[in-house]
């Protein structure tokens, strides 16, 4: 029954532009690694804390995507996240959980 | 109405809110300018920031981001011939040739002035139309709302699908399925949760938007990094030329702007249509109206050809707020994101918003206009500097987008499961994008899913389980007839094209 239904639909509403995906030219490996890093980031963000995991996530991702300008990579991770945290937590009063910063006494 | 405008002005003109419009326009422009990222991503990324504000301020920020992103999209269309969003494709027809002729600055200025004029005129239309439509929409009942939502979903599928109506409809169904996860509002039974406590409250709207737009767009950019077709051909970003518009060009724009703004606004009001169709229609109409001599210039850097789609594009953006604010039914993907954000603030848009929260209603309309002014003041002189942002390397851009997406979910739920779920949905969405499945229908269906079910069940309760409510009222029947017409017309068009 379903087969007839879907074949019918396909007949009434044909695709005008058939898509051909060139799998060979796609960067599966890099995308996969990035997804993996994001999963690790998601798994550790609550336990370790926002600041450290986010900064590391950004730094490692820049590296895996082929970036090697170390100073810029650093500036756009640790100080950048600190500034962003200050904006969210300090100015906009949005709670951010960070056991790491709490343990070293930076965050109340 | 005067009283309403004053309420709106007092809310919108506070220091904080003006600052928000400025910040919104600025960030919107930057995000919208980056190829591949459009207004929906820009708004989605801003959602976590708006948590700290009251609803009016939050929405004002989002309206600023929206307009900024639309303007930013035009910039990348003109300079790179790489439209960030479908709505600015028509802009590149004449904008890019102009930039190639060394008149990039002028093209950007024409685009900025046309957007401004289009936005201003449509904000005026909105001012007059929204209150009266609010009054009319008070006569809407559950069956009408249900029918209207069906119409909205069908229309967005028909208009956004680029010849792939079936795929768009599949995305609508997927959106409705995702919306049905969690506790049922009437009987408290949990559905499709697989006994997972984290799914009892359903899937968060922010999560779905972040996953299907921001995150999957970032992943798609990485995935297609070596794709030769996506490599942008670049106009020199340092030598943009003068941004002055001469008298002859101004005269041309005076004629183009009013007619294109009307088309843009009316198309924007229709559910599902939006900026893309508006800009193409305005471009097409302009080509038919101008003199033969000017017609020759179309596609080679015509002022009319650039001004018309830009005006219509921005006018349609304002127009799309009409159904969202007055009926509570978003007509486009972007307004769907805004509706989701409004619901998150505890504000229920619809005809009653006009009465219960006039300050929100009017301040959004007023802030749209203020946004236009700020966009012009802020962006026009900054164009040469803003253009350099286009050179941001993807190595930095992609991790930053992922970081914003994860932060958005993290500050909302403090839950690992939500982050995993978002990554999962983003991976699926990336593959769907690869095969050209459109995402806006999914978002619209996801936002409307709950409301649609509620209205359907209420209608069924009132009619004792009979489906007669679908044709009992003339209004319901008319809306459903329009829906059927759209589908039939679309099938006819598809067959005509195929043969």
pLDDT over 70 (residue B238) = no
Report CB contact under 8 Å: B494, A50. no
pLDDT in tens, B144-171: 889 888 888 887 777 665 667 888 889 9
The interface residues of chain B toward chain A in range 399-428, judged by CB-CB distance below 8 A, are 399-400, 402-403, 406-407, 410-411, 414-416, 419-420, 423, 427
Q: Is residue A16 part of a domain?
A: no
Cβ contacts of B491 on chain A, cutoff 8 Å? 12-13
Q: Residue B44 — pLDDT band, cuts 50, 70, 90?
A: confident
Residue A60 has a pLDDT of: 96
Q: Does A58 contact chain B (CB < 8 Å)? A: yes
How big is the CA angle at B377 (ends B286 and B375), to the nearest 5 degrees?
60
pLDDT band at A76 (very low <50, low <70, confident <90, very high): very high
Cβ–Cβ of A96/B411 closer than 8 Å? yes
CA distances from B239 to B27, B101, B111, B212, B334 (A): 24, 11, 18, 37, 34
- Split at pLDDT 50, 70, 90, the class of B225 is confident
Classify residue A10: in a domain, yes or no: no
Exposure of B384 in the CB half-sphere (CA atoms within 13 A): 9
Give the minimum alpha-carbon distance from B216 to chain A in angstroms, rounded to a whole number: 11
Give the C-alpha separation, B94 to B282, whole Å.
Answer: 13
H/E element, A33: helix A28-48
What crossing angle do the helices spanning B394-413 and B416-434 adopt, rounded to 10°? 140
Neighbouring CB atoms inside 10 A of B243's CB total 19
Residue B227: what pLDDT? 66
Total-model pTM: 0.81
Alpha-carbon dihedral angle through residues B267, B273, B278, B280, given to the nearest 10 degrees: -140
In a domain, A64, yes or no: yes
> A42 and chain B: CB distance < 8 Å anywhere?
yes
Q: What is the pLDDT of residue B364?
A: 76
Contact check, Cβ <8 Å, B219/A34? yes
Q: Is A10 on the interface with B (CB under 8 A)?
A: yes
A21 to B419: CB separation less than 8 angstroms, yes or no = no
The ipTM assigned to this model is 0.90
Q: Does B434 touch chain A (CB under 8 A)?
A: yes
Subunit contact B427:A35, Cβ cutoff 8 A:
yes
Q: Tell me the mean pLDDT in the region B124-137.
A: 76
- Partners of A27 on chain B (C-beta within 8 Å) are 222-226
Secondary structure percentages of chain B, helix, strand, coil, to 5? 80, 0, 20
Q: Rounded to an integer, what is the distance from CA B466 to the centroid of its chain?
A: 37
Q: Using alpha carbons only, what angle is made at residue B28 by residues B77 and B361, rounded to the nearest 5 degrees? A: 120
Place of tokens 């919306």: B179
Name the residue in chain A with its Cα closest to that of B431: A21
For position B201, what pLDDT does the model report? 87
Say whether residue A9 is in contact with chain B using an 8 A CB cutoff: yes
**Mean pLDDT lowest among A24-33, B286-295, B442-451, B490-499:** B490-499
Give mean pLDDT, residues B110-126: 87
Query: What per-residue confidence (pLDDT) applies to A14?
Result: 66
pLDDT tens sequence across B412-457:
788 899 999 999 999 999 999 888 888 888 988 888 888 889 889 9
**Higher local confidence (pLDDT), B307 or B47:** B307
Stretch among A34-38, B263-267, B426-430 having the lowest mean pLDDT: B263-267
Partners of residue A13 in chain B, C-beta under 8 Å: 165-166, 169, 490-491, 494
Determine contact: B433 vs chain A, CB below 8 A.
no
Residue A108 belongs to some domain of the structure: no
**Quick one: tokens of B277?**
């169709």
User: To probe the interface with A, which of B229, B403, B426, B432 has the most A CB atoms within 10 Å?
Assistant: B403
Q: What Rg do the C-alpha atoms of chain B give, in angstroms?
A: 22
Is A19 contained in some domain? no
Is the pLDDT at B235 greater than 60, yes or no?
no
Question: Chain A residue closest to B165 (CA)?
Answer: A13
More confident site: A70 or B214: A70
- The helix, strand and coil proportions of chain A, stated in percent and rounded to the nearest 5, come to 70, 0, 30
Cβ of B208: how many Cβ atoms within 10 Å? 26
Instruction: Mutate one of B395, B398, B421 to test the A interface: name it (highest A CB count within 10 A).
Output: B395
Burial of B218 (0-12, 13-18, 19+ CB in 10 A): buried
What does pLDDT average to over chain B? 83
Residue of A9, A41, A42 to mutate, interface with B, max B Cβ within 10 Å: A42
Contact between chains at A61 and B52 (C-beta distance less than 8 A): no
Name B302's Cβ contacts closer than 8 Å, sequence gap at least 6: B94, B294
Cα–Cα distance between B18 and B101 in angstroms, integer?
Answer: 37
Could you tell me the CA-to-CA distances from A57 to A80, B157, B219 in Å, in that order?
A: 12, 37, 15
Task: Express each pLDDT in B88-111 by its tens digit.
Answer: 778 888 888 888 888 888 888 898
In this prediction, residue B308 carries a pLDDT of: 92
Measure CB to CB from residue B164 to each of A15, A84, A88 and give the nearest one.
A15
Q: Which of B74, B76, B75, B36 is nearest to B309 (CA)?
A: B74
Chain B residues with beta carbon closer than 8 angstroms to that of A46: 414-416
* Nearest C-alpha neighbor of B279 from the set B320, B316, B323: B316
Which of B400, B427, B434 is nearest residue A21 as measured by Cβ atoms? B434
pLDDT at A40 over 90: yes
Tens of pLDDT, residues B317-334:
888 888 888 877 776 778
Q: Does the beta-carbon distance from B423 to A38 stay under 8 Å?
A: yes
Q: Which of B29, B118, B98, B82 is nearest to B309 (CA)?
A: B118
Report residue B63's pLDDT band, with 50, 70 and 90 as the boundaries. Answer: confident
Over residues B455-465, the pLDDT tens digits come to 899 999 999 99
Domain edges within chain B: 2-498
Axis-axis angle for helices B247-269, B274-289 (nearest 10): 130
Chain A residue with minimal CA distance to B419? A42
User: Which residue on chain A is closest to B169 by alpha carbon?
Assistant: A13
Query: In which band, very low, low, confident or very high, does the pLDDT at A56 lie, cut at 50, 70 and 90?
Result: very high
What distance in Å separates the CA atoms of residue B417 and residue A42, rounded to the nearest whole number? 9
User: Tell me, what's the pLDDT at B431?
Assistant: 93
Q: Which burial class, exposed, middle or buried, applies to A13 when counting CB atoms under 10 A from its CB (0-12, 13-18, 19+)?
A: buried
A94 with B420: Cβ contact below 8 A: no
Are the beta carbons of A62 and B414 separated by less than 8 Å? no
B4 pLDDT higher than 80: no
Q: What is the arithmetic mean of pLDDT over A65-89?
A: 91
Considering only CB atoms, A26 lies closest to which of B164, B223, B416, namely B223
Q: What is the per-residue pLDDT for B249? A: 87
What is the reported pLDDT for A33? Answer: 94
Residue of chain B whose Cα is closest to the Cα of A91: B52
Where residue A42 falls among pLDDT bands split at 50, 70, 90?
A: very high
Q: Are B240 and B105 in contact (CB under 8 A)?
A: yes
Q: pLDDT tens across B394-413, in order?
A: 788 889 889 888 888 888 78
The answer as to whether A6 is a domain residue is no
Pairwise CB contact (< 8 Å): A61 & B163: no
Note the pLDDT of residue B34. Answer: 73
How close are the terminal C-alpha atoms of chain B, in Å? 53
Task: Inform me whether the C-beta atom of residue A3 falls under 8 Å from chain B C-beta atoms.
Answer: no
A18 close to B (CB below 8 A): no
Question: Contact A14/B403, CB-based, under 8 Å?
Answer: no
Instruction: Name the H helices within B34-161.
Output: 39-50, 55-80, 89-98, 104-137, 142-160
Number of separate domains in chain A? 1
Q: What are phi and psi of A10, to 5 degrees?
A: -65, -35
pLDDT (mean) for A60-74:
93
Report how far residue B263's alpha carbon sits from residue B267's, in angstroms, rounded to the nearest whole number.
Answer: 6
- Mind telling me how many Å the CA of A86 is from chain B's nearest CA? 12
Tell which phi-psi region holds residue B398, choosing left (phi > 0), alpha (psi between -120 and 50) or beta.
alpha
Residue B179 has a pLDDT of 93
Question: Cα(A70)–Cα(B221) distance, rounded to whole angstroms?
Answer: 23
B5-37: b or e for each residue (b if 16 or more CB lie within 10 Å)? eebbbebbeeeebbebbbbbbbbbbbbbbbbbb
**Distance in angstroms between the alpha carbons of the first and the last residue of chain A:** 62
| Contact criterion met (CB below 8 Å) for B145 and B459 | no
Range of the structural domain that residue A64 is part of: 26-103
Give the pLDDT of residue B41.
79
* Alpha carbon distance B335, B274 (integer Å): 10
Indicate yes or no: CB of A27 within 8 angstroms of CB of B222.
yes
| Nearest Cα to Cα of residue B11 among B23, B21, B26 | B21
Confidence of residue B365 (pLDDT cuts 50, 70, 90): confident
Q: Which of A5, A6, A16 to mutate to test the interface with B (most CBs of B within 10 A)?
A: A16
Q: What are the residues whose beta carbons fall under 8 Å from the beta carbon of B240, sequence distance 6 or more?
A: B104, B105, B108, B383, B384, B387
Contact call for A31 and B223, based on CB within 8 A: yes
Per-residue tokens: B186: 């009437």
């Amino acid at each position: 029954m379903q087969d007839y239904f879907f074949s019918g639909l396909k007949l009434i509403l044909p695709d005008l532009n058939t898509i051909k995906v060139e799998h060979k030219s796609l960067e599966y490996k890099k995308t996969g690694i990035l997804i993996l890093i994001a999963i690790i980031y998601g798994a550790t963000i609550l336990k370790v804390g926002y600041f450290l995991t986010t900064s590391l996530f950004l730094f490692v991702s820049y590296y895996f995507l082929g970036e090697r300008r170390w100073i810029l990579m650093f500036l756009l991770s640790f100080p950048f996240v600190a500034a962003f945290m200050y904006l969210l937590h300090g100015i906009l009063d949005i709670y951010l959980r960070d056991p790491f910063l709490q343990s070293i006494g930076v965050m109340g | 109405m005067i009283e309403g405008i004053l309420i709106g002005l007092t809310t919108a003109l506070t220091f904080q809110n003006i600052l928000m419009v400025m910040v919104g326009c600025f960030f919107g422009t930057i995000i919208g300018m980056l190829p591949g990222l459009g207004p929906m991503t820009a708004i989605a990324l801003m959602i976590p920031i708006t948590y700290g504000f009251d609803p009016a301020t939050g929405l004002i920020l989002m309206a600023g981001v929206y307009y900024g992103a639309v303007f930013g999209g035009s910039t990348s269309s003109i300079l790179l011939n790489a439209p960030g969003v479908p709505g600015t494709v028509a802009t590149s027809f004449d904008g890019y040739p102009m930039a190639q002729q060394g008149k990039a600055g002028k093209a950007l200025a024409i685009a900025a002035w046309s957007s401004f004029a289009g936005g201003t005129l449509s904000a005026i239309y909105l001012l007059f139309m929204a209150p009266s439509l609010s009054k009319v929409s008070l006569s809407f009942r559950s069956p009408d709302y249900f029918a209207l939502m069906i119409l909205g979903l069908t229309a967005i599928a028909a208009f956004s699908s680029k010849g792939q109506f079936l795929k768009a409809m599949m995305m609508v169904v997927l959106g409705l399925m995702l919306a049905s996860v969690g506790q049922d509002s009437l009987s408290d039974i949990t559905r499709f949760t697989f006994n997972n406590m984290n799914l009892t409250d359903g899937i968060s709207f922010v999560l779905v938007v972040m996953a299907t737009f921001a995150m999957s767009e970032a992943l798609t950019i990485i995935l297609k990094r070596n794709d030769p077709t996506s490599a942008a051909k670049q106009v020199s970003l340092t030598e943009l030329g003068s941004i002055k518009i001469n008298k002859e060009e101004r005269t041309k724009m005076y004629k183009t702007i009013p007619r294109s703004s009307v088309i843009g606004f009316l198309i924007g009001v229709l559910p599902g249509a939006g900026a893309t169709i508006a800009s193409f229609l305005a471009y097409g109409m302009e080509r038919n109206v101008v003199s033969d001599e000017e017609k020759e210039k179309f596609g080679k850097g015509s002022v009319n050809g650039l001004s018309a789609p830009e005006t219509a594009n921005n006018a349609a953006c304002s127009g799309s707020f009409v159904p969202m604010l007055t009926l509570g039914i978003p007509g486009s993907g972007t307004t769907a994101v805004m509706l989701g954000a409004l619901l998150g603030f505890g504000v229920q848009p619809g005809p009653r918003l006009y009465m219960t929260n006039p300050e929100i209603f009017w301040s959004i309309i007023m802030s749209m206009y203020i946004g236009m002014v700020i966009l012009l003041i802020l962006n026009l002189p900054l164009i040469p500097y803003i253009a350099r942002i286009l050179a941001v390397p993807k190595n930095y851009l992609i991790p930053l987008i992922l970081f914003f997406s994860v932060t958005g979910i993290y500050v909302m739920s403090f839950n690992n499961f939500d982050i995993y779920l978002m990554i999962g949905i983003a991976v699926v969405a990336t593959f769907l994008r690869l095969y050209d499945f459109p995402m806006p229908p999914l978002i619209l269906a996801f936002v409307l899913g709950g409301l649609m079910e509620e209205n359907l069940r209420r209608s069924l309760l009132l009619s004792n389980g009979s489906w007669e409510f679908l044709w009992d009222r003339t209004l319901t029947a008319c809306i459903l007839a329009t829906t059927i017409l759209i589908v039939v017309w679309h099938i006819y068009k598809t067959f005509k094209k195929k043969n």
